[in-house]
Structure 1
């Protein structure tokens, strides 16, 4: 089979296009013939060898994918050969075939590229919003950086459950995009004075803030919390300086989000809930750009751009 392969950790140039053996499956796994694979920032950290849990070399980049079930293990009952499926939080998705533990139905009307955009972004957003934060109808949340993959998933999932969601973005295009996701209001986080605008409009603060760039915004977020509000740190690329006294003023708190700490039963719960979300709404992942398999390295560069909007996808079929 054709596969993008990393044989030594490094930059995007470490990704090679090779012909490799089709993977074998265990009794509780399925073999998916991939039509599309997702690209996420975490893929670049793993490829560079800068992630807490690294796969054994060689491996194929990517944790998300969508395709058709080619083969099932003896103990698999939830899907059958020929089913359209999506998966996330796995490994080796940038290849024609991937052995997968948790495969979820891809509803009719959802494309393979959209399905490949569900895994890391929507599973992370679901874990953060519902499992860890416990957000519910009537809450008011701020998604600080709402135009990316996880941010846009948060906005859609919040709208699904009638949670008032406010977002920020860094361009006119991004602002219009976030509005289309069901945002109550959107602010330009590159504009001087935008924090004062937020404080004026939401003087009582936010129950939850979901932060994609904690190294830039964590201290600001602390001043935007409602009493006993919480900040979820989903993305961070450097150290930051904070004034913790702001947390004392609201009895607020900060917690991290790590999809990799989910148990398998939790991932199954999250995945099944996302299937329900797709069936109950017209919301879909936003596919910003698609790449051929040989351009995985280019996609790894683009996903780290500050202008990244929506999701990037590798087309394999």
Structure 2
């Protein structure tokens, strides 16, 4: 089968197609024929060596997949051959998603939402589970909550806006001017241009902030939270100074690391099929153009997601 590999850390040009044996599923696993695999910002950081999550190369990147079950190991009861599934296998260990086949524990998969194709389903797991685990599990967003989503036009952000809205929140967002119409179309009630305006002056009495930017944004966000409000960060989760500053200000802090979660995947699929959540894919490229996909993800200008088709 074809897969993407790299022999060294570096730029997008280190990524290349190789021919490797199909994986053999172990007990509790199914073999999935991958039809689409999303590219996430973390993929580029791992590829470059900036975050050596997978150790030294060679390795195959990719965690977001959507495809068709090709083989079921006896004892697995959740799926049958021919089922369309999607998921985020093994994160943060190697998921090997940039490939034509992957072997995946059945409980790290869910049935693909019926309302979208394989490309859009592949765009959902990592970013969607991040937003779901932040807003549903950590924040328990309820109707009427004022929720601020930073980087609302990005991969996590554009899904978080829709999830918060589906839960009945009043959604505030930050995004560049070029993405305002897009973010408002997702359901945001107010959008602030972070390049030309100070969101700390524009917004107040926020119940939940979801920070997907990091750096000074988290600390600045403390002041817009109401007393007892919650700062959720998916970037600076280990920043003890940020945590202390948030708590000292009378607010709450949660750092999120996304986890494989078939219950969350099923909840996301329900929202998609109910018309309340739509992953946006700006670029869908063949597997052979993986280097171009990484160039695009590193530009920081993408709306929604980038997906590879296998």
Q: TM-score, normalised by structure 1?
A: 0.88
Q: Give how far 1:156 is off.
A: 1.0
Tell me whether 1:231 sits opposite 2:235 in the alignment. Answer: no
Residue deviations 1:42-70 (CA, integer Å, cap 9, x gap): 11222233336426743321100111111
Task: Could you list the structure 1 runs, at least 4 aligned residues long, displaced by more than 4 angstroms after superposition.
Answer: 239-247
Counterpart CA distance in 2 for 1:132 and 1:289 is 31
Equivalent residues of 1:89, 1:120 under 8 A apart: no
Q: Among residues 93, 113, 116, which one is paired with 1:110 in the alignment?
A: 116
Equivalent residues of 1:223, 1:246 under 8 A apart: no
Equivalent residues of 1:88, 1:118 under 8 A apart: no
Tell me whether 1:175 sits opposite 2:180 in the alignment. Answer: yes
Q: Among residues 180, 188, 196, which one is paired with 2:193 in the alignment?
A: 188
Q: Which moved more, 1:45-54 or 1:141-150?
A: 45-54
Evaluate the alpha carbon distance shift between residue 57 and residue 24 of structure 1 in structure 2; reply closer, same or farther with a 3 A threshold: farther
Residue deviations 1:235-276 (CA, integer Å, cap 9, x gap): 359x99979767544x013321111xx4x6xx1221221122
Residue deviations 1:77-126 (CA, integer Å, cap 9, x gap): 11111111111144111111111122211132311111111111001111
- In the alignment, which residue of structure 2 is the partner of 1:159? 165
- In the alignment, which residue of structure 1 is the partner of 2:87? 87
User: Which runs of 5 or more residues in structure 2 are unaligned?
Assistant: none
Equivalent residues of 2:159, 2:277 under 8 A apart: no
- In the alignment, which residue of structure 1 is the partner of 2:274? 280
Equivalent residues of 1:30, 1:103 under 8 A apart: no
- In the alignment, which residue of structure 1 is the partner of 2:8? 8
Counterpart CA distance in 2 for 1:246 and 1:123 is 24
Q: Does the residue aligned with 2:215 lie in a helix, a strand or coil?
A: helix
Q: TM-score, normalised by structure 2?
A: 0.90
Residue correspondence of structure 1 range 59-74 to structure 2 within 5 A: 59-74=59-74
**Count of residue pairs brought into register by the alignment:** 304
User: Which runs of 5 or more residues in structure 1 are unaligned?
Assistant: none
Equivalent residues of 1:214, 1:240 under 8 A apart: no
Q: Give how far 1:11 is off.
A: 2.6
Tell me whether 1:271 sits opposite 2:265 in the alignment. Answer: yes
Counterpart CA distance in 2 for 1:105 and 1:63 is 16
Counterpart CA distance in 1 for 2:16 and 2:140 is 42
Pairwise CA RMSD of aligned residues? 2.4
Q: Does the residue aligned with 1:304 lie in a helix, a strand or coil?
A: helix
Residue deviations 1:149-168 (CA, integer Å, cap 9, x gap): 11111111111111221111
